[in-house]
């Protein structure tokens, strides 16, 4: 048994941003640019692995079912978080100012 975390199937992510406000830890953020290989017009949202605590609050918020649970090993020396490359550039999300998205 490992630690839960969330991952996104990029091809199923339309970039609708609905999931962003469902994450209390600001672990769901839009990519700064749309990958050239992508078929959707809008850039995808990614999971910032270092921010995700695996609370699964977001998991039911995706209308396309792109979010899914994964398990990472409890042993820190084997953790996939330690093997991940640096996080890609993401767009800032305005949550708390007037007109921001706040929480769901």
What are the residues binding ligand SF4 (CB under 6 A)?
6, 8, 13-19, 22-23, 25, 27-28, 45, 47, 52-58, 61-62, 64, 66-67
Report in angstroms how near the CB of residue 12 gets to ligand SF4 at its nearest.
7
Of 78 and 91, nearer to ligand SF4 (C-beta) is 91
Of 56 and 82, nearer to ligand SF4 (C-beta) is 56
Nearest in space to 90 (alpha carbons), one of 19, 32, 45: 32
Q: How far apart are CA 59 and CA 77, in angstroms?
A: 27
Report in angstroms how near the CB of residue 58 gets to ligand SF4 at its nearest.
3
Report in angstroms how near the CB of residue 26 gets to ligand SF4 at its nearest.
8
Query: 11 phi and psi, to 5 degrees?
Result: -65, -20
Label each residue of 75-92 as H, E or C: CHHHCHHHHCCCCCCECC
Of 57 and 79, nearer to ligand SF4 (C-beta) is 57
Q: Tokens at residue 31, please?
A: 């990519």
């Amino acid at each position: 048994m490992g630690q839960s975390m969330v991952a996104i199937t990029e091809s199923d992510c339309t970039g609708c941003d609905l999931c962003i406000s469902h994450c209390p830890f600001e672990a769901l953020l839009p990519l700064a640019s749309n990958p050239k290989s992508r078929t959707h017009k809008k850039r995808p949202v990614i999971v910032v692995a270092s921010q995700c605590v695996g609370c699964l609050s977001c998991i039911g918020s995706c209308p396309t079912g792109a979010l899914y649970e994964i398990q990472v090993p409890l042993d820190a020396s084997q953790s996939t978080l330690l093997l991940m490359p640096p996080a890609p550039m993401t767009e800032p999300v305005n949550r708390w100012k007037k007109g921001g998205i706040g929480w769901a």
